[in-house]
Structure 1
C-alpha cells in the first residue's frame, strides 16, 4: 500500500506548511537541538537514509554546538522517508527511535495526513531532544533556520 497518494493533490498547502514550521519552532523552544524538514520529489539513492545523510552535510547541520540536529527527509514521488540525527542525539536515542518515528509518519501518510504525520514526528523528536538536550536560557540560540526546505 503506497504511503503517498497518487492523486494530484499538492503535497502540502500553505496552512499545512505553516503548521509544520510552527511545530518546529515549538519543539525547539524546549531544547538546544535543531530540527529541519527537507522535501523533494525524487531520491537520488536507493536508500533514503543515505540521501538524508548527504542533505544533512550539504545543509551543514553537523555544525550545531552539541551535534544534536535532526533532519526529517521525504522524497514524495519515490515514496521514501528517513530521519537522520547527528551523532550527539543518535548516541542517546539509537536506530530504534528513528525507525519507530518513521513508522508512525508512514501510518499518517497512508491516510494522506502528511502534515499531521510530520508534526507528530517533529513533536516526538522535540521531546527526545528536550530530554537529552534541555533548553538553557543563557547559552542556547537558534542555530539553524526553521523553514521547510523544498528540493527538486
Structure 2
C-alpha cells in the first residue's frame, strides 16, 4: 500500500497569485516603498495585528532604508486582516489612512471579493507611497521581494 503525503489546498489559484504579485509590482514601480503580502488560513492570535507584527519582524520589513515598508496580513478562513506600516510611512499618512484601507478590505471581504479587495488595498498603499516616497532614479533598490508569503 502506498501512502501519499497530504497536500494542503492552495489558498489562491495560480492566476490569483499572479494578479496579487503584479499588483505589488505595479504599486512599487514608482516608489522607494515596499509592500509585502502575508497570507495564511487561520490567525493563531486573538488580535491579527499581533500576528502582523510578528510577520513584519520575521520578514525584516523594519530594515528598509526609509522605514517605508507596509505589510498586508490576511487570514483567509478567519476573515481577519491587519495592515501594518513602518514608522516612515505611518508618520506621513497617519491613523486615518490605515482606517480607510481597513474599510476598503472589509467592504470587499463582505462581498466575498477577497482578491479584488487585496488588489485595491495594495494599489492605494502604492499611491500613498509614491506621494511620500517617490522613486529616485539610480538611488532606489527593491529592498524586499515582491512575492506573497504564505504562513501556516
TM over 0.5: yes
**Separation in 2, partners of 1:66, 1:57:** 16
Greater than 3 Å deviation, 4+ residue runs = none
**Separation in 2, partners of 1:62, 1:71:** 10
**Separation in 2, partners of 1:19, 1:38:** 15
Matching residue of 2:127: 127
How far apart are residue 77 of structure 1 and its match?
Answer: 2.2
Matching residue of 1:80: 80
**SS of match in other structure, 1:50:** helix
State the Cα RMSD in Å: 1.3
How far apart are residue 12 of structure 1 and its match?
Answer: 2.1
Matching residue of 1:93: 93
How far apart are residue 44 of structure 1 and its match?
Answer: 2.1
Matching residue of 1:150: 150
**SS of match in other structure, 1:77:** coil
For the 8 Å contact 1:34–1:69, the answer to whether it is kept is yes
- Gapped regions of structure 2 (runs ≥ 5): 1-8
Superimposed CA distance per residue, residues 5-37 of structure 1 (whole angstroms, 9 cap, x where no aligned partner) = xxxx96421111101100100111110000000
Matching residue of 1:67: 67
For the 8 Å contact 2:72–2:84, the answer to whether it is kept is yes
**SS of match in other structure, 1:45:** coil
Matching residue of 1:49: 49
Instruction: Give the TM-score, by structure 2 length.
Output: 0.90
**SS of match in other structure, 1:66:** coil
Superimposed CA distance per residue, residues 37-64 of structure 1 (whole angstroms, 9 cap, x where no aligned partner) = 0001221211111111111001111110
How far apart are residue 79 of structure 1 and its match?
Answer: 1.9
**Number of aligned residue pairs:** 144
Larger Rg: 2
For the 8 Å contact 1:11–1:114, the answer to whether it is kept is no
For the 8 Å contact 1:12–1:114, the answer to whether it is kept is no
**Separation in 2, partners of 1:59, 1:132:** 23
Q: How does 1:98-117 map to 2 (within 5 A)?
A: 98-117=98-117
Matching residue of 1:37: 37
- Gapped regions of structure 1 (runs ≥ 5): 1-8
